Chain A
Amino acid sequence: MLDDPRPEELLAAVARLLREEIGPQLTDAAAFHARVAANALDLVRRQIADEAAIDAAENARLAALLGTSGTTAGLNRLLAARLRAGAGEAEMPGLMDHLWETTLAKIAVDQPRYASIAPALAIRAARRRERKNA
């Protein structure tokens, strides 16, 4: 059995080192790259923690939406093809909910502080109410 600290704890420590200790000692371009590197480590930490659950939930939603099972990549290929052929919410009820859930799960890993998230959630909630009432 390997000893602690866990990988995610070490990643957090390195990100903190880059952001709080090394970054402030650097000049413009190098400080920018140190910040990007710290952000990348945080992304990796979130992905390690959440990827399995994100994939399982996405796979289950896709299977329900498309009425078939498969790998997440395979089901996404099928969904992309149906969308390309012109299918929408009418042909695939639950489509928009699925796309929102999938995108929100992705951005929670990629860029959880992206400023668009809050207004986007308000738009989603409004359309969702309309679809439910329709």
Chain B
Amino acid sequence: MDAPAMDVGVDPFPARMAALVGRIDPGASLANLGRLSGGASQETWAFDAVGPAGTRRLILRRAAPGAVPHPMAAGFAVEAAAIRAAGVQGVPCPHVRHELEPADGLGEGFVTDHVEGETLARRIQRDEAFAATRETMVASFGAILARIHRVPVAVLPPMRRSGVAAALEAIRESLDADPTPRPVFELALGWAARHAPPEPERLALVHGDFRLGNVITGPEGVRAVLDWELAHLGDPTEDLAWISLPPWRFGRIERPVAGLGSRADMFEAYARTGGASVDAARVHWWEVMGSLRWGLFCAEMLARFRGDDPSVERGMIVRRISESEIDLLAAIEGGIDAG
């Protein structure tokens, strides 16, 4: 008997995608399959399911074949569960259509509806089309975070738990693994260890990478929160601080939240939507921890640049370590910035 499946010359991916489309929308066929991005750990594909009732635009995120997941990555099943649970709380999220199963033959991942809109930070900050949205965006970030943080933990699958002490340990491990001595990071970690706040009263669902670049926006406002890869159970203040890190202000340094507005406006909307009252010292501490996390992430990219991804972009990310260093010195020497 012939065994076409053994033919190493045929890429099984398109046929498996066609079968997947039939499973998602019975009677529909696959069209416009195209890769949006890909890296060592995961791939993103856009495709259409064309059926008698119309065309559904879809997105597949899946593990790159043979990839070793990052230790902080939530995993696709946890991500999908977090997105669904956040959606129930009113967080704008892409609808999860299908979670990959072994029978799909496509590895781990999930399919969501495509959400039209803008993700590029500089366009959201500067284009005329978003002028009205910009007025309310910081408040909607506060409201979205309050909704994420009130997801009942009981509806979530087991996931990474990382409060104050675990975050300090993770930074310590990452710094120890770096072959380059980094005095500014050592200074900052020492400061963080001495100024650590108590563990939060409860661990909440934390998005982990909530910032411009990871939200799809239309002229009317935020349409979807993406990139739940770093979701975990942690201190909700972590999310409130991460969005104000200087690199996520994209040049608009005088406006702390995403280069768009003030922390006070975001915190006010957070409280109005049921979030706990915000402790400025705890936010400042998580900003220091965030700059450390981002700086060490950039440092880790050196191995990737010398390994699987020798792109200019990858190499240049490593040279952003000094951005985190100056931000850390300013944060530690400047103290709490309540603006």
Report which A residues bind B (CB closer than 8 A). 33, 36-37, 39-40, 43, 73, 76-77, 79-81, 83-84, 86, 88, 95-96, 99-100, 102-104, 106-107, 110-111, 114-120, 123-124, 127
Q: Is B181's CB under 8 angstroms from A73's CB?
A: yes
- Residues of chain B within 8 A (CB-CB) of A127 are 333
Kindly state whether residue B330 has any CB partner on chain A within 8 Å. Answer: yes
Distance A100 CA – B48 CA, assembled complex (angstroms): 53
How many residues belonging to B are interface residues under a CB distance threshold of 8 Å?
29
- Residues of chain B within 8 A (CB-CB) of A110 are 319-323
If over half of B's interface residues share one DSSP class (helix, strand or loop), that class is named, otherwise mixed; here it is helix
Nearest B residue to A116, CB-CB = B246
Distance A28 CA – B320 CA, assembled complex (angstroms): 22
Q: Is B326's CB under 8 angstroms from A37's CB?
A: no
Nearest B residue to A103, CB-CB = B325
Distance A39 CA – B325 CA, assembled complex (angstroms): 20
Distance A124 CA – B333 CA, assembled complex (angstroms): 7
Q: Is A103's CB under 8 angstroms from B246's CB?
A: no
B236 CB, nearest partner CB in chain A, Å = 26
Report which B residues bind A (CB closer than 8 A). 181-184, 186-187, 190, 246, 249, 251-254, 312-313, 315-316, 319-323, 325-327, 329-330, 333-334
Q: Is A103's CB under 8 angstroms from B316's CB?
A: no
Distance A86 CA – B313 CA, assembled complex (angstroms): 36
Distance A82 CA – B315 CA, assembled complex (angstroms): 30
* Also in contact, A100 and B329, with CB within 8 A (given A33-B313, A80-B186): yes
If over half of A's interface residues share one DSSP class (helix, strand or loop), that class is named, otherwise mixed; here it is helix
A27 CB, nearest partner CB in chain B, Å = 14
* Also in contact, A79 and B252, with CB within 8 A (given A116-B246, A120-B326, A127-B333): no
* Also in contact, A80 and B330, with CB within 8 A (given A36-B313, A106-B322, A107-B323): no
Q: Is B327's CB under 8 angstroms from A116's CB?
A: yes
Query: A103 contacts which of B186, B251, B326 (Cβ < 8 Å)?
Result: B326
- Residues of chain A within 8 A (CB-CB) of B253 are 115-116, 118-119
Q: Is A77's CB under 8 angstroms from B181's CB?
A: yes
Query: A99 contacts which of B184, B254, B321 (Cβ < 8 Å)?
Result: B184
A19 CB, nearest partner CB in chain B, Å = 14
Query: A84 contacts which of B190, B249, B313, B322 (Cβ < 8 Å)?
Result: B190
Report which residue of B254, B319, B320 has the largest number of chain A beta carbons within 10 angstroms of its beta carbon. B319
Distance A117 CA – B251 CA, assembled complex (angstroms): 11
* Also in contact, A119 and B322, with CB within 8 A (given A76-B183, A77-B181, A83-B190): no
Report which residue of A80, A81, A106, A116 has the largest number of chain B beta carbons within 10 angstroms of its beta carbon. A116
- Residues of chain B within 8 A (CB-CB) of A104 are 326
Distance A80 CA – B182 CA, assembled complex (angstroms): 6
* Also in contact, A36 and B326, with CB within 8 A (given A80-B182, A80-B186, A119-B253): no
